Structure 1
């Protein structure tokens, strides 16, 4: 069956259909009379209706597996769109919760399991190591099982990991639980954005995807709050590390009320199922929605044709051998590295310990950790609201705030926590708030920059590599925190090492960070086709103009 058929019954070639009359990226401007002359929409969609009905009436075994869903129908299609987007983005709560909960749990856990300093470091750092492994298997899971199904798989990893942590009898069991939790984090991190982007309309895509980062920060606040609630409970640390069970169960059940990505279904040739999902997410009486579906199907067909003629590793080769892709990968990885090497995850995982070092008792340390988590949450809001208004580079300049905050944190440790307790706590908390406020906005770049810097052909692979580096640096910084703090002292580590990285990072961002605001994908290609030094010269020239 051809994708487009003329009124005379003769097929219209896909090349002609996409290059002549129909420009789907500008659908609202298409002359509907011309469309009606070239394409028999009624016949095309009658066949799709029949195919969708056959899937529902006589589903194959694979169809039954893919359609494990309690179907919800809304008269207003936007309600289904926002339900899908909001619930999928809520997966960020799990990621954030598991990153911060260990801070409060470590106080009771270290005593109960008699953990050495090295063992305690491994417990904290094995989650990002597991996330690195999860990010590596995310791409094949997305390809083989689908977007929603991969999220369900991540929930299973979360549930197993949480159960092991809550019931841990020794450090080996805790190691396994934290690593398995991390695998869930890594799978989820790459799936959510793809699932949302492939399912929701373009006019709300950016807002809904941005909700994921907000939910990560919200999950981190919830982690500190859960720690504060269970701190006084006997064996409360088990409730803390096991709290993910509640959220993973809710997400697991909720995903069965959501459809699979229609684009993935089309990619797998299951057009009937895809159209059935599409009707629930779009107003199918709107001709632009029909055009979008046909374009989606055509793109999937062309992608299958292209892949059938190429080797499995050709995309990997293009990522490194083509200068444009190599520059995008280099910049994205360095941008992520700069953020992680300022110590954000180490500060987050050891928040309660760091609070104790400036004079707070154990109970107050757990409660005061909410200050850092709350600051991070608030810091994400400006970037989510105004990323497209002010551009990308302005948020890269937040490294100035990193440096100022880390200097204050380091100075706070120079005061005597006994005789100068008020000064120590005041300076430290001020620095912590400044640091997390600025990091909250910077952290949104972690998801925005890689998603728009790579071309369509290498985007998934580029995101996989960026996610792997994100979790690799998180593991490295967290695992080595206790050793480095002993060697540097808290002041030397925060002010000297982390602050030094922030200062060097600021110079790098000022010089080499490209501005991709309001740029089309083709224009972004043009940016990365230029040398890094050409971009730097333009950035410095624009900065001089802005100052003078």
Structure 2
């Protein structure tokens, strides 16, 4: 990568349509949304999606595994530790430790994303995942365990910010939307894996250590994979436009990266595609730079409140906490055996996985608003049923089991709809803020 940080000259940019206030007519179709035909190899497109998507899978796995680990660690016979007599506050710290870390990671991502780039941000996330999982798995006491959970959470915050950006910037336009949706699908897939592995290890001595340790190989694979993948061509060109490198050198690097991402089928069109991206970025660069203060005025303020409010209030209902405490809630509702409670949790994960897939398929046909209204209605009903049981029917185990099953079905069907739409960069921060 170039080390020359001089501002690219006007002549360099005029070649791509910046010699005046308008875009060259040769490149106008790009701005209107029509891009030249992209050639790509399907096999070459797999890894640029798969390795970033592992960041989402590890996030989902943390939800499922923590649900089972909180049962294992409280057992006098199976925890394998002397400090198993944990209070509700202690269990809450273990559960929310990763969420506090994710909040910090999301805030950090806004400040370092453009400097590090999507690829290096994902590598950093994989390191946080690895360190956090190892510290948690080998924790000698509660304090160290919470620290490990916090470090793991920083990885979640970084990965949830950079993974969709890397996929969007490197995926061929024809399959970009599908791959971004599949990344969200991977989160739920990780959740199912967490519930499944947790149910297998919940009756093993020190099983909670193994539950958290299982994520380390995936963290290593994610880190090695992102190290092997090239940087985002769009990010490289953005650096050039911003004057953070030599224009010609960064352009050549972007062409090489694009060739690696698309495979041999791209042929000689890599240079043309890079020029189109550069033209688009140059055109956007003509616009007046938006300051932070402008977000709190006019239409920007309204858009921010709508986007951030939807995510914040959807999260602040407490429904994600139900996923983290699924096994504990089911155990208190009548599934007294640890293995029974964790196995029923798998059903919750599977239903959520199926309905997430359906939501991804139908969202463009039904629209986001109907799904959002349906999801909110479902959350109201399911949370009302859960709350009513604990207030009035706590001693009736049979009714408890019936209510729990109904709630899990509604939760899986309706809470999954939120994954069908990405509300932008502010969403991860709002999601973590609920803690």
TM (norm. structure 1) is 0.68
What aligned pairs does 1:135-214 form with structure 2 within 5 A after superposition?
135-214=106-185
Deviates more, 1:295-304 or 1:333-342: 295-304
Asked whether the 8 Å contact 1:78–1:281 carries over to 2, the reply is no
For 2:254, the equivalent position in structure 1 comes to 274
User: Residues 378 and 411 of structure 2 are in contact (CA less than 8 Å); yes or no, is this contact kept in structure 1?
Assistant: yes
Q: CA deviation at 1:196?
A: 1.0
Query: Aligned in 2, Cα 1:17/1:337: closer, same or farther, shift over 3 Å?
Result: closer
Contact (CA 8 Å) 2:348, 2:412: kept in 1 or not?
A: yes
| Aligned twin of 2:428 | 467
Tell me by how many angstroms 1:304 deviates.
6.5
Q: Deviations over 1:220-239 (max 9, x none)?
A: 11111111111121111110
Contact 1:414-1:424 at 8 Å conserved across structures: no
- The answer to whether 1:21 aligns with 2:26 is yes
Alignment correspondent of 1:406: 383
Per the alignment, residue 53 of structure 2 pairs with 89
Deviates more, 1:124-133 or 1:292-301: 292-301
Structure scoring higher RCO (CA < 8 A, sep ≥ 6) equals: 2
SS in 2 for 1:268: helix
Q: 1:139 to 1:12 in 2, by over 3 A?
A: closer
**Aligned counterpart for 1:344 among listed residues 287, 309, 319:** 319
Q: How do 1:100-115 and structure 2 match up within 5 A? A: 100-111=64-75, 112=81, 113=83, 114-115=85-86
Q: 1:432 aligns with which of 399, 408, 412?
A: 408
Name the structure 2 match of 1:295.
276
Equivalent residue for 1:533? none
Per-residue deviation, 1:416:
6.0
For 2:399 and 2:42, locate their aligned partners in 1 and report how far apart those are by CA, in whole Å: 52
What SS is found at the alignment partner of 2:74? helix
Q: Does 1:99 align with 2:63?
A: yes
Larger radius of gyration: 1
Gapped regions of structure 2 (runs ≥ 5)? 1-10, 76-80, 241-249
Between the aligned partners of 2:17 and 2:196, the Cα distance in structure 1 is 60
Structure 1 CA distance, aligned partners of 2:391 and 2:35?
Answer: 65
**How many residues in Structure 1 have an aligned counterpart in Structure 2?**
403
Tell me, in whole angstroms, the C-alpha distance in 1 between the residues paired with 2:133 and 2:370.
39
> Deviation digits for residues 406-447 of structure 1, max 9, x if unmatched?
3343455578677x54433123212221122100112333x2
Q: Distance in 1 between matches of 2:54 and 2:17?
A: 43
Equivalent position of 1:353 in the other structure? 328
Q: Distance in 2 between matches of 1:166 and 1:28?
A: 50
| CA deviations over 1:33-83 (Å, ceiling 9, x no partner) | xxxxxxxxxxxxxxxxxxxxxxxxxxxxxxxxxxxxxxxxxx953321233
Match of 2:44 among 50, 58, 80: 80
Contact 2:65 2:195 in 1 (8 A): yes
Q: What is the alpha-carbon distance in structure 1 between the residues aligned to residue 161 and residue 416 of structure 2?
A: 19
**Residue equivalent to 1:546:** none
Provide the secondary structure at the position in 1 that maps to 2:230: coil
Shift of 1:28: 6.0
Q: Distance in 1 between matches of 2:390 and 2:233?
A: 54
Q: Deviations over 1:387-424 (max 9, x none)?
A: 21221111112212222323343455578677x54433
- Report the CA distance between 1:206 and its aligned residue: 0.8
Q: Choose the corresponding residue for 1:393, options 366, 369, 372.
A: 369
Distance in 1 (CA, whole Å) between partners of 2:69 and 2:431 is: 24
Q: Distance in 1 between matches of 2:219 and 2:347?
A: 25
Is this contact kept in 2: 1:89–1:208, CA < 8 A?
no
1:281 Cα offset (Å): 3.5
**Is residue 415–residue 423 contact of structure 1 (8 Å, CA) maintained in 2?**
no
Question: Is the 1:88–1:192 contact (alpha carbons within 8 Å) kept by the matching residues of 2?
Answer: yes
Q: What residue ranges of structure 1 are gaps of 5+ in the alignment? A: 6-10, 31-74, 452-462, 476-548
Structure 1 residues 444-501: Cα deviation after superposition (integer angstroms, max 9, x where no partner): 33x2xx23xxxxxxxxxxx1x332121011x2xxxxxxxxxxxxxxxxxxxxxxxxxx
1:292 Cα offset (Å): 3.5
